[in-house]
Structure 1
Amino acid sequence: MPLQRAIFVLASPASLRVAANPNHRDNRVPVVPMSVTAEFPGKATFVFVDADNLALQAWEPRTLADTPTTGLGEADVHVWLLQLQQPPHTLEDLATSLTEEELARSSRFHLERDRKRFIAARSLLRQLVGRYAGMPANAVRFLANSHGKPRIETEEGLAAFEFNLSHSGDWAVVGFARGVAVGVDIEQIRPVPDMADVAGHTFAASEAKSIEALPDDQRIDGFFSCWTRKEAYVKAVGLGLSVDLKTFNVHVTPTRHVDNIRYPETGAAYRVEGLRPLQGYLSAIAVEIPGAATGVVASRPLKHFALAV
């Protein structure tokens, strides 16, 4: 099986800046890229990062303008991790790419913190989508299916790539894929009132029992591992929470276990794995397995990943 290549990019927490206006003198986003090479069944490529490897001082800074997007090949996946907590002048730059409708949405948040996070997440998504589509950020037109899964429209029609955004706390994760569906989720680990009841009402019975059986200090991670994997899967399927979360099972431990899930209505299959991108956060990525609707789902976990700076 040939090795495929993917990119995980972390926006620098200390110096993230973006100019939504292409004529702005500082039209750059300092980022840190990590190239990840790993085995994967079929053509699709995954990216995995552990919090222990996020050593900013060891990486060579790059800018969004310098980071190539043309390398998004068929069935490849690029994943971006973006910080949403930004200084006022950066948010002003970011907001200039938003539409009137998006600005109106931002004004409806009750908490100023949430308004700022929305502006940062939506604007940075526009920056990234614009780069992959070859258009200015403020020209990006988002469309959505009946369940809310976004696509973008170009002059030639729908873009040839798919993308998905999730954000929690001060961080967002964005996945891009060409030729396959992709779904991502990220959650800040936090207390969940009546967690056992929530798990029992939301997850499959076996998952709720597995979470309850974990040691006390691992139970909250088990809950969010299960939650992020399920969210990533239903987002990749494109049907949102119209998919009953009790009808399929995932691993509840935050490790690199692989979940291969076939959606019965279409026969399409999806590979789901979790990651811990930062301390205090859990995330998951789901990618459609090419050709799975007409063949047997191949499954083997990634054996290694390599960082290159």
Structure 2
Amino acid sequence: MRQVELSPGCVDTWPPRSTLDTQFEGVLSSSRWRAAASLSVFVGLFELRDWQAWVDDAYAVLDATESGRVRSRRSPTRRDQLALCYALHRLVLGRALHCDVASVPIGRDRAGCPRVAGGSLATSLSHADGCLAVAVSAAGPVGVDIESLARAAVMPEIVERLCHPADRAAMEALAEDERNQALLALWVRKEAFLKAIGIGLQREMQTFAAPDDAVLPRRGGVTSQVRMLDAGPHWVAAVAKPPGASVECVWLRPNGATAQQWY
């Protein structure tokens, strides 16, 4: 397994500086991050309300592009949530790269997907309804998606643009509630895959099937494997990763209490 190396764009400035940074370091120390960081793929899950006390620190570490995206949100609550998302994403990457959070060399490609300069890591993030998922991979392209389980109720409205014929066949025998949850799970798998290949929703979801644990073709003979994550009773999440890459999914909370699932 390739080891993560310090990116040339990073400045190694330890110990952590901000209150948010210090709190985050304490959480990682109690969450077996050191072991997780040696794996191929790490997924950190956050409930943003847990981190609201440090929102001022979050704003302070954003770059100009991130700050502009945050300011474009009309609602103050949405602005605060997005600032926390970007800051927590930077914190995860900063620990993986061993550099200061403000120096993390992160940008976006033409499709708007987050990219780490230097090529040592691939990353993805997803935020919905006050929850954030951050994926970091040393094994190759990665995509992550998370949604509230409450959204299962509206999934029948988008069946036509979500389901490939093979997906529909798999849903037919399910009861309504179970089918709605299965549709939401299908959505997050396809979202994660489209993020991993770097095109977002530019490809229509009904053009391909995505059963759990399936290995799906990418361009140039490369493949990605889609896999559901255990995100607890209120969330539905999936990751797309290189086939065979190990994954750890961890809830990261300020009090250090975490729930872990190994794959």
Q: Does the pair score TM above 0.5?
A: yes
- How far apart are residue 269 of structure 1 and its match? 1.2
Map 1:66-215; keep pairs closer than 5 Å: 68=33, 72-73=37-38, 76-86=40-50, 89-153=53-117, 158-191=118-151, 195-211=155-171, 213-215=173-175
Consecutive unaligned residues in structure 1, runs of 5 or more:
5-20, 32-61, 252-256, 292-305
Describe the superposition over 1:167-214 as per-residue Cα deviations: whole angstroms up to 9, x where unpaired: 111221111111321111101122467643411123213324544542
- How far apart are residue 113 of structure 1 and its match? 2.6
Aligned to 2:23: 29
- How far apart are residue 69 of structure 1 and its match? 5.1
Q: Which SS does the other structure have where 2:147 is aligned? A: strand
**2:253 is equivalent to residue 261 of structure 1:** no
Q: Pick 1 or 2: higher relative contact order, CA cutoff 8 A, min separation 6.
A: 2
**2:234 is equivalent to residue 280 of structure 1:** yes
Structure-2 change in CA distance of 1:104 and 1:111 (3 Å): same
Q: Which SS does the other structure have where 1:146 is aligned? A: coil
- How far apart are residue 136 of structure 1 and its match? 1.2
Consecutive unaligned residues in structure 2, runs of 5 or more:
2-14, 246-259
Partner Cα distance (1:129, 1:307) in 2: 20
Structure-2 change in CA distance of 1:229 and 1:27 (3 Å): closer
The answer (yes or no) to whether the contact 1:165–1:184 under 8 Å persists in 2 is: yes
Partner Cα distance (1:81, 1:130) in 2: 16
Matched pairs, number: 234
- How far apart are residue 307 of structure 1 and its match? 6.6
The answer (yes or no) to whether the contact 1:234–1:241 under 8 Å persists in 2 is: yes
Structure-2 change in CA distance of 1:271 and 1:191 (3 Å): closer
The answer (yes or no) to whether the contact 2:142–2:240 under 8 Å persists in 1 is: yes
**2:226 is equivalent to residue 232 of structure 1:** no
Describe the superposition over 1:224-269 as per-residue Cα deviations: whole angstroms up to 9, x where unpaired: 1000000111111122222232222123xxxxx4211122x31111
Partner Cα distance (1:142, 1:179) in 2: 18
**Which one has a bigger Cα radius of gyration?**
1
The answer (yes or no) to whether the contact 1:72–1:177 under 8 Å persists in 2 is: no
The answer (yes or no) to whether the contact 1:85–1:170 under 8 Å persists in 2 is: yes
Structure-2 change in CA distance of 1:88 and 1:267 (3 Å): closer
- What value does the CA root-mean-square deviation take over the aligned residues? 3.0
Partner Cα distance (2:90, 2:207) in 1: 34
The structure carrying a bigger helix percent of its residues is: 2
Aligned to 2:255: none
- How far apart are residue 118 of structure 1 and its match? 0.5
Give me the TM-score of the superposition, normalised by structure 2.
0.76
Report the identity percentage. 22
Give me the TM-score of the superposition, normalised by structure 1.
0.66
The answer (yes or no) to whether the contact 2:161–2:205 under 8 Å persists in 1 is: no
Structure-2 change in CA distance of 1:26 and 1:116 (3 Å): closer
Q: Which SS does the other structure have where 2:46 is aligned? A: strand
